[in-house]
């Protein structure tokens, strides 16, 4: 497949690799560059580092408002071509893009591993899941969004009614670093499939991953910049919010979400917010304890706990509490973080997060919690050994705020009702899980949990189900990505009512006949007042 227009999108390829920096968090550096006329000028550069080794991976453009504006302009023009293809045409392009990503998945995995430090297997899992979403969005957009008839009903029987979902225009996607492919793809794939152009601002910690994705699109359609990347930090993200895009899809912390919304408010730009989480797992008296413990350790420690829908809190019913904790303890002790291929998980990708984790663990212990695995000594930058805390007071920040580290808090509860009340007590409400052998009990609990998604007898079981909408409540955000709702999130609904013939009871006229209204009243009473 080839495109036809002449303009090429801007390049954001890395400009250097080599030497070791002294601090990994220092992603913004000033560089002096010589121009062809010999005049030196200073420019800001975004530098990406490997959090395992502090090795410099590459320099990327620190894009400012002008570059963002230029990118949006190009996106607007490409979007007209893209929208004109219709869902069937876009499906072909998106499936080609999917194939290009899948063919070179090993390269993408390598970039993700280097930028986040996560083990190869985890990066593979992330890329495979992201591709599933791209595939689903491409294949289902037509079914969900194309114009379709709806019933007009008795009182408007003379109307032919239909609903269609139109693209918004250009969507600005702002992503985090913890799942730098899977997470933004939840917006990118669905926004593109709905006919929008996308300008993606990856996290300053993972600019290479975002650039890799944009390059695969550019190789496919060099003259149609339907999907582009702008690299940079918070200022670049803010510039994207100010750039009059038609919607912002933000994924990140609740604190940044507030800033994003404040900027969007200036121009009434709508936004979908995928915020953080403090997910709870509930373990019932009849749960398969070994399965529950395995899931708690995976959900709590996987990706070094840097998962928005990871398990941060467990509420286990007191009759099984001790047995459950013993199983978790045994499994957690086996985990060894590191940089080697056999490591259970990698380093803390964001250096500053280490201090957050330390504060949470210290507060939990100071308030009377007990560490059954690890403790404050487990925190040695950039790796944190597994930490399991029990009987942590509910007002501890390890219970109320997002820890985002390999720390599991397990508290005992009398019964499922108390577990639900505690699970629902934080400002976050993203995901939750429940373990029970009884299907009806599982459903009963799931329906009472304040969360955007609940898994029964698994954690993260929803992640591969592209048809399931995903998103949070409260500090975890609003709006939905994934599934049919995810496609509609990036669309504007338009209703059309076509009059086929004059209505038998003609009421929409200034010459309304008394007889018609009399008859209408009779129909109304007969239908609704009996
Ligand atoms: P963050 O809020 O620090 O940054 C997210 C993105 O926002 C980055 O690209 C950053 O450059 C940009 N940004 C920062 N300030 C900005 C501003 N003023 N205006 C516009 N953009 C700005 O989050 P993070 O540390 O990258 O990611 C971790 C957080 O993301 C956690 O809270 C995690 O739970 C959450 N997360 C949520 C989901 C989800 O789907 N709900 C998925 C993954 C991560």
Q: Tell whether ligand 1 has an atom less than 6 A from the beta carbon of residue 176.
A: yes
Provide the pLDDT confidence category of residue 44 given band limits of 50, 70 and 90: confident
Domain membership of residue 31 (yes or no) is no
The CATH number given to whatever domain includes residue 203 is: 3.40.605.10
Domain membership of residue 147 (yes or no) is yes
End-of-domain residue from the set 223, 249, 274: 274
Q: Give pLDDT tens digits for 209-233.
A: 999 999 999 999 999 999 999 999 9
End-of-domain residue from the set 274, 294, 324: 274
Residue 17 has pLDDT above 70, yes or no: no
Same domain flag for 159 and 245: yes
Please give the residue range of the domain that contains residue 291. 280-469
End-of-domain residue from the set 469, 492, 523: 469
- CA-nearest residue for atom 42, ligand 1, is 308
Provide the pLDDT confidence category of residue 435 given band limits of 50, 70 and 90: very high
Q: Tell whether ligand 1 has an atom less than 6 A from the beta carbon of residue 252.
A: yes
| Distance of alpha carbon 132 from the chain centroid | 15
For the beta sheet containing 387-390, the strands, ordered from the edge strand earlier in sequence to the opposite edge, are: 370-373, 387-390, 407-413, 313-317, 280-283, 431-435, 453-456
The CATH number given to whatever domain includes residue 396 is: 3.40.309.10
Q: What dihedral angle (degrees, nearest 10) is formed by the CA atoms of 318, 319, 320, 322?
A: 70
Q: Give pLDDT tens digits for 80-113.
A: 999 999 999 999 999 999 999 999 999 999 999 9
Q: How far apart are the C-alpha atoms of 110 and 57, rounded to whole Å?
A: 12
Mean pLDDT computed over 376-392:
97
For the beta sheet containing 148-150, the strands, ordered from the edge strand earlier in sequence to the opposite edge, are: 148-150, 159-167, 491-499
Name, in order, each residue with C-beta under 8 angstroms of 134's C-beta and a sequence gap of 6 or more. Answer: 94, 97, 98, 101, 185, 189
Domain membership of residue 32 (yes or no) is no
Q: Six-digit token pair at 148?
A: 């379709």
What residues act catalytically? Answer: 274, 308
Domain membership of residue 49 (yes or no) is no
Q: How far apart are the C-alpha atoms of 219 and 382, rounded to whole Å?
A: 36
Q: How far apart are the C-alpha atoms of 332 and 8, rounded to whole Å?
A: 50
Query: Of 315, 332, 316, 345, nearest to 373 (Cα)?
Result: 332
Same domain flag for 287 and 372: yes
Whats the size of the chain, residue-wise?
530
Looking from the CA of residue 232, the nearest atom of ligand 1 is 11
Distance from the alpha carbon of residue 207 to the mean position of ligand 1, in angstroms: 13
Same domain flag for 236 and 373: no
Same domain flag for 285 and 270: no
Query: Of 159, 305, 229, nearest to 13 (Cα)?
Result: 229
Looking from the CA of residue 201, the nearest atom of ligand 1 is 9
Cβ atoms of residues 304 and 345 within 8 Å: yes
Q: Tell whether ligand 1 has an atom less than 6 A from the beta carbon of residue 308.
A: yes
Provide the pLDDT confidence category of residue 341 given band limits of 50, 70 and 90: confident
Q: How far apart are the C-alpha atoms of 362 and 75, rounded to whole Å?
A: 48
Q: Give pLDDT tens digits for 247-282.
A: 999 999 999 999 999 999 999 999 999 999 999 999
Same domain flag for 185 and 87: yes
Same domain flag for 147 and 293: no
Same domain flag for 251 and 286: no
Backbone angles phi, psi at 282, to 5 degrees: -110, 130
Q: What dihedral angle (degrees, nearest 10) is formed by the CA atoms of 245, 246, 249, 253?
A: 60
Q: How far apart are the C-alpha atoms of 485 and 254, rounded to whole Å?
A: 22
Q: Tell whether ligand 1 has an atom less than 6 A from the beta carbon of residue 174.
A: yes
Domain membership of residue 40 (yes or no) is no
Same domain flag for 284 and 391: yes
Q: Tell whether ligand 1 has an atom less than 6 A from the beta carbon of residue 210.
A: no
Distance from the alpha carbon of residue 275 to the mean position of ligand 1, in angstroms: 7
Domain membership of residue 150 (yes or no) is yes
For the chain, the 3-state helix, strand and coil shares in percent, each to the nearest 5, are: 40, 20, 35
Per cent of the chain over pLDDT 90 is 91
Domain membership of residue 58 (yes or no) is no
**C-alpha pair distances (Å), 175 with each of 13, 181, 481:** 18, 9, 13
Q: How far apart are the C-alpha atoms of 222 and 522, rounded to whole Å?
A: 64
Q: How far apart are the C-alpha atoms of 1 and 99, rounded to whole Å?
A: 12
Same domain flag for 179 and 302: no
Same domain flag for 234 and 287: no
Average model confidence (pLDDT) across the chain: 93
Same domain flag for 237 and 293: no
Residue 298 has pLDDT above 60, yes or no: yes
Same domain flag for 312 and 237: no
Please count the structural domains in the chain: 2
Domain membership of residue 44 (yes or no) is no
Residue 62 has pLDDT above 80, yes or no: yes
Q: Six-digit token pair at 73?
A: 């302009």
């Amino acid at each position: 497949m080839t495109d036809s227009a002449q303009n090429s999108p801007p390049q954001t390829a890395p400009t250097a690799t080599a030497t070791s920096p002294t601090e990994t968090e220092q992603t913004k550096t000033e560089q002096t560059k010589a121009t062809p006329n010999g005049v030196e000028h200073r420019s800001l550069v975004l530098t990406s580092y490997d959090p395992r080794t502090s090795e410099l991976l590459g320099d990327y453009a620190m894009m400012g408002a002008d570059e963002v504006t230029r990118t949006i302009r190009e996106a607007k023009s490409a979007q007209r071509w893209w929208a004109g293809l219709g869902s069937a045409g876009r499906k072909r392009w998106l499936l080609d893009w999917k194939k290009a990503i899948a063919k070179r998945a090993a390269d993408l995995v390598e970039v993700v591993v280097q930028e986040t430090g996560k083990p190869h297997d985890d990066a593979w899992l992330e890329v495979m899941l992201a591709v599933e979403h791209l595939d689903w969005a491409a294949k289902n957009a037509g079914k969900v969004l194309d114009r379709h008839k709806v019933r007009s009903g008795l009182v408007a029987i003379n109307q032919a009614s239909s609903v269609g979902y139109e693209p918004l225009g250009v969507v600005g996607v702002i992503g985090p670093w913890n799942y730098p492919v899977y997470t933004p793809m939840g917006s990118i794939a669905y926004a593109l499939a709905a006919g929008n152009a996308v300008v993606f601002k990856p996290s300053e910690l993972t600019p290479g991953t975002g650039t890799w994705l944009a390059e695969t699109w550019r190789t496919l359609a060099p003259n149609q910049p339907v999907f582009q990347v702008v690299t940079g930090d918070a200022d670049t993200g803010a510039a994207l919010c100010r750039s009059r895009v038609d919607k912002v899809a933000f994924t990140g912390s609740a604190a940044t979400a507030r800033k994003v919304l404040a900027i969007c408010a200036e121009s009434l730009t709508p936004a979908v917010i995928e915020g953080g989480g403090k997910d709870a797992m509930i373990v019932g008296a009849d749960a398969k304890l070994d399965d529950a413990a395995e899931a708690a350790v995976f959900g709590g420690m996987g990706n070094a706990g840097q998962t928005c829908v990871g398990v941060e809190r467990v509420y286990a019913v007191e009759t099984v509490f001790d047995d459950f904790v013993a199983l978790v303890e045994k499994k957690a002790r086996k985990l060894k973080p590191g940089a080697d291929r056999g490591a259970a998980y990698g380093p803390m990708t964001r250096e500053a997060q280490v201090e957050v984790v330390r504060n949470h663990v210290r507060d939990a212990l100071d308030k009377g919690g007990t560490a059954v695995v690890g403790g404050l000594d487990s925190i040695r930058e950039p790796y944190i050994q597994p930490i399991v805390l029990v009987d942590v007071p509910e007002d501890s920040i390890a219970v109320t705020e997002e820890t985002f580290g390999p720390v599991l808090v397990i508290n005992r509860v009398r019964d499922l009702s108390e577990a639900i009340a505690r699970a629902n007590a934080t400002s976050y409400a993203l995901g939750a899980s429940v373990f029970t052998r009884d299907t009806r009990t599982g459903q009963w609990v799931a329906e009472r949990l304040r969360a955007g998604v609940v898994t029964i007898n698994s954690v993260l079981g929803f992640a591969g189900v592209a048809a399931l909408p995903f998103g949070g409540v409260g500090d975890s955000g609003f709006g939905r990505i994934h599934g049919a709702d995810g496609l509609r999130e990036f669309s504007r609904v338009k209703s059309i009512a076509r009059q086929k013939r004059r209505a038998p009871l003609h009421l929409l006229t200034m010459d309304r006949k008394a007889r018609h209204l009399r008859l209408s009243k009779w129909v109304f009473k007969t239908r609704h007042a009996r």
